[in-house]
Every structure is written in C-alpha cells, then in structure tokens.
Structure 1
Amino acid sequence: MASNGSSVPLIGVTTYLEQARFGLWDRPSAVLMRSYLDCVVTAGGMPVMLPPVGRWLPEHVSRLDGLVLSGGADIDPSRYGQAPHAATGTLRLERDTSEFGLFHLALEADIPVLGVCRGMQLINIALGGTLHQHVPDVAGSTTHNPTPGVFGSNEIKLAPGSVVAGLVGEHTTVHCHHHQAIDQLGSGLSAVGWAQDGTVEAVELPEAGFVTGVQWHPEENSTDVRLFQGLVQAAIQKSAQGKSQ
C-alpha cells in the first residue's frame, strides 16, 4: 500500500508555467505533455501535476510516493556560478525556485525521484554540480538537439550494475532534445550513462533509495516505460518498508 493509503502510488510530476492556448483561451497556464501522465499510469502509478507556484512544504511532499522532475527551459546559470551563454534560452526563474525546493524536500524525505532532461540537470546543480551551457561547443555537433521541437536519436551506453542499466539494459537508443549537459558532477552523484560523444546521459545518487536522472526523454517512447516502472516500484517498496517499521 502506498503512503497515501491507496494501493496505487501517487507520483508528482512537475509542470511548465507558460502562455498556452486551449479552447477559447490564451492564458498563462500550468501545462505538461500528456506523455508523462500516460507513462506514469502505464507504469502502475497515478500522476499528480505539480505547478511551480507557491512554496512547497514537507507536509505537501509527504503526500507523494514518488517525484518526476520533467524537462523544460534552461536553468538559471547563476545557480552554478556562471553568466548566461549566448545560446542559453529564456529562463523560468519561478519554476527554478519551485523545483529546487521540491527536490530538496523529496531528498530529505527519501522519496524516489526520476529527473528527465532538465530534471537531471536540476538534480546535478542542486547537489553542487555545473553544466556545459551549449553542448555543440563541447561535442562539436548538434546530434543532441538537431532541430527545435524535433527529437534526435542517440545510442547510450550504461554502466553495468547501475540502476538504469538494470531497467533498460547496458545499451539503449533514446529520444533526446537538449543543448546543455552535465560538466562537473554534483556531490555524491555517479555518472552511469554516456552518449557516443562522451556526454553524460544518466546519473544516480547511490546513497539515496532511488534518485536517478536521464538526459533523454523516456516519456517519448510510450511502449517502453521501464524507467517509470522503476520509479513506481521504488515508491511501493519504500511505502512497504515504512509500514513494516
């Protein structure tokens, strides 16, 4: 049974805060690609959309069984001691504040976390790491972000024995859309996945029960929800442990 009293874990998923058109309206909105929600449901959880408004408190986070930090805009580089690169996009400072707070609360509560693209970068920065602000400057190609709004395809190698390799295998082909990537790893993080050009594509926090980040977009492959299943199973196991203590 999950901590919320149900047999189905509640998985919080962070959302964008953007101007959006729907029906008769064109208004500032909290939005999220449905693919995230479908992947959580298929994996056995129930998604809860978490808007980047207000201040998250421990009692809010304690109602969740797991957390997905979704993709999105570039993170404010001042958070890792850098000035913006010319290619760094429009920042979402309200979202940064919300999600850094949310992640730290989830970490303190030992709630399982899956970071996706921006979400992996946020985990790294929150733990003291830094980013390459424009991957083409380092890798010399645009394979990770071929065209705005179009996903690229990358071959990923994963470390044997890692949590991610245990879920998707030691080699996998992924959907990617990012122009930033990890430079220096945050405290306690281990790099466990790499693209062919050496870009870090997956990280784990071994000291935590389940804190994993991937630079690619697993929600874009609706037929393969193994990473989301890993998160949901970690949430179920943590809840069961809490009940037995």
Structure 2
Amino acid sequence: MNGSEFARPIVGLTTYLQQAQTSVWDVHASFLPGVYIKGVTLAGGIATLLPPQPVDAEIAARVLDRLDGLIITGGKDVDPATYGHDPHPTTDEPARDRDAWEFALLAGALRRHLPVLGICRGAQLLNVALGGTLHQHLPDILGHTRHQQGNAVFSTSTVHTVEGSKLAGLIGETSDAQCYHHQAIDRLGDGLVVCARDTDGVIEAVEMPGHDFVLAVQWHPEETLDDLRLFAGLVEAARNHTTERVNLWPPPN
C-alpha cells in the first residue's frame, strides 16, 4: 500500500499584506486569522501561508509545485478595474499586489487541476478571474445591510444548495452560514455554475463542474469550526491529488 494515501496534504492559504500592530510593533506585515489555519489542520492538512509578493507565472508555478491544494481567503474587495467597472464609493481601496498574486496562483492552480477552495473574497476573485463581474454594494440592490452588519459582527444566513452539486454532497440541502460581505457575484464567470443561494437570491457559492475540486463560498466556514465539512472536502481532494501525482511519478518512458 502506498503510504502517500494517508499523508497529510500541504494546503496553501493566501494572506493579507498591510499595516498590523502587535505589542510595541506597528509594521507592514503578512498575516491571516488563525481560524483558517486551524480549519486546515483540524481537517487533516498541513497549512502553509502564501503572502503577496512580486509575481510572474514562473514564480507562481514554483510555489504551486509544492502544494496539494489552495485556499483563496477573505479580505479586501477585488479591484473593480479587473472586471471593467468604476469603483463604488463603498468599495475598498484596492490591494493590487494581493490581487495580482492571487490571480497568478489561481490561474496556475486551474491549469494543473489543483483543488481550490475560495472563501468570501476568494469566491469573488475566482469569478472575476474567469471573466465574471461583481455587485459592488448589495444594500443598493437588496435595501438592507444584513449580509454585512459592520463592526466585525457576522450575520447568519441560510443557504440553499443546488441538488446534485459538489457543495450539496458536502453540506446537504441547506446550511446556516456566517456572512460578512457587502459585495457578491453578478455576472457568472466562464465555466462556473451556481451551487447555492440565500433567501434573498444572492449567489452564495459557485463551483466548476468537470474538475476534481474547484469550489468557492461567499460565507466564512472558518468561523464555525465545529463544522469542518468544507475544509475536509478540500483536504480530501488535496490528498487524492497528491496521491495521483505520486503514482504518476516517474513518468512512463
């Protein structure tokens, strides 16, 4: 039996790069809330952080060569210029270094069929990377702020999955989701399908049929680690991916 079948897969998680304060230090720093890391490790993976940095396709490829799965994490709004829109007054000042880094990692991951999980911003970035667009401020459309109440207070939404989707296979027909987003997917990116909406009809998850695991949710599963199903799904897909890669090495003559 191949020992790689039980190896803990290495999962890369993208991070913030901005001013941060700890003790007497107030510095420009890479960081990520520890709940993301805990979600990966509790699900059986090895977490490694991927801070924004100067990037090209070769750099992204070398990083991805060492990963079994990729999580695009939450954070600032994606730069509206990347999907051809002018910024809404409420849209964050863009973090273009992070946008470029994550677009490069995502493009490389999709080319090599690396398992990908997008979380909140990660769902929006996946959609934009594939040619889609975003609603920049949901209250303008829905008339309420329940998706993002502010002051770091998460709201609970009920999401309804699409029957037969990969997501439904992981979490069932409905699930309570911790939300903190004022933006959402508008026009769907190429190759993506909607796999969950909330009671307002907002797209809450998308996936890419035909791939082993490309799934992105608008909510924050890292905030409810008593339910590891999404992290476990990504880690299992990453484990399968690395097992297949080991079994294909060395390549046939």
Normalising by structure 2, what TM-score? 0.93
Q: Report SS of the residue matched to 2:205.
A: strand
Equivalent residue for 1:71, pick from 60, 67, 74: 74
Which residue of structure 1 aligns with residue 174 of structure 2?
Answer: 171
Q: Report SS of the residue matched to 2:169.
A: helix
**1:151-201 deviation per Cα after TM superposition (whole angstroms, max 9, x unaligned):** 111010001111111111110001000000000000010001001000000
Change (3 A) 1:101 1:6: farther
Q: Which amino acid aligns with 1:52?
A: P
Unaligned runs of 5+ in 1: none
**2:54 touches 2:97 (CA, 8 Å); kept in 1?**
no
Q: How does 1:110-189 map to 2 (within 5 A)?
A: 110-189=113-192
Equivalent residue for 2:215, pick from 205, 212, 216: 212
| C-alpha distance in structure 2 between counterparts of 1:79 and 1:29, whole Å | 25
- Residue 146 of structure 1 deviates from its aligned partner by 1.3
| C-alpha distance in structure 1 between counterparts of 2:211 and 2:130, whole Å | 13
| C-alpha distance in structure 1 between counterparts of 2:133 and 2:6, whole Å | 39
Is residue 47 from structure 1 mapped to residue 50 from structure 2 by the alignment? no
- Residue 15 of structure 1 deviates from its aligned partner by 0.2
| CA RMSD between the two structures | 1.5
Q: Which runs of 4+ in 1 moved over 6 A?
A: none
- Residue 45 of structure 1 deviates from its aligned partner by 0.1
**1:180-225 deviation per Cα after TM superposition (whole angstroms, max 9, x unaligned):** 0000000010001001000000000113211000000000001111
Q: What is the count of residue pairs matched by the alignment? A: 244
Unaligned runs of 5+ in 2: 249-253
**1:2 touches 1:235 (CA, 8 Å); kept in 2?**
no
Q: Report SS of the residue matched to 2:232.
A: helix
**1:32-62 deviation per Cα after TM superposition (whole angstroms, max 9, x unaligned):** 0000000000000010010001213312211
Which residue of structure 2 aligns with residue 38 of structure 1?
Answer: 38
Equivalent residue for 2:234, pick from 222, 228, 231: 231
Q: Report SS of the residue matched to 2:197.
A: strand
Q: Which amino acid aligns with 1:16?
A: Y
| C-alpha distance in structure 1 between counterparts of 2:225 and 2:23, whole Å | 26
Q: Report SS of the residue matched to 2:67.
A: coil
- Residue 2 of structure 1 deviates from its aligned partner by 9.1
**1:79-100 deviation per Cα after TM superposition (whole angstroms, max 9, x unaligned):** 1110001111121111101110
| C-alpha distance in structure 1 between counterparts of 2:191 and 2:182, whole Å | 24
| C-alpha distance in structure 2 between counterparts of 1:58 and 1:239, whole Å | 16
Which residue of structure 2 aligns with residue 201 of structure 1?
Answer: 204
Q: Report SS of the residue matched to 2:240.
A: helix
Normalising by structure 1, what TM-score? 0.96
Q: Report SS of the residue matched to 2:74.
A: coil
Is residue 12 from structure 1 mapped to residue 12 from structure 2 by the alignment? yes
Change (3 A) 1:233 1:89: same
- Residue 147 of structure 1 deviates from its aligned partner by 1.9
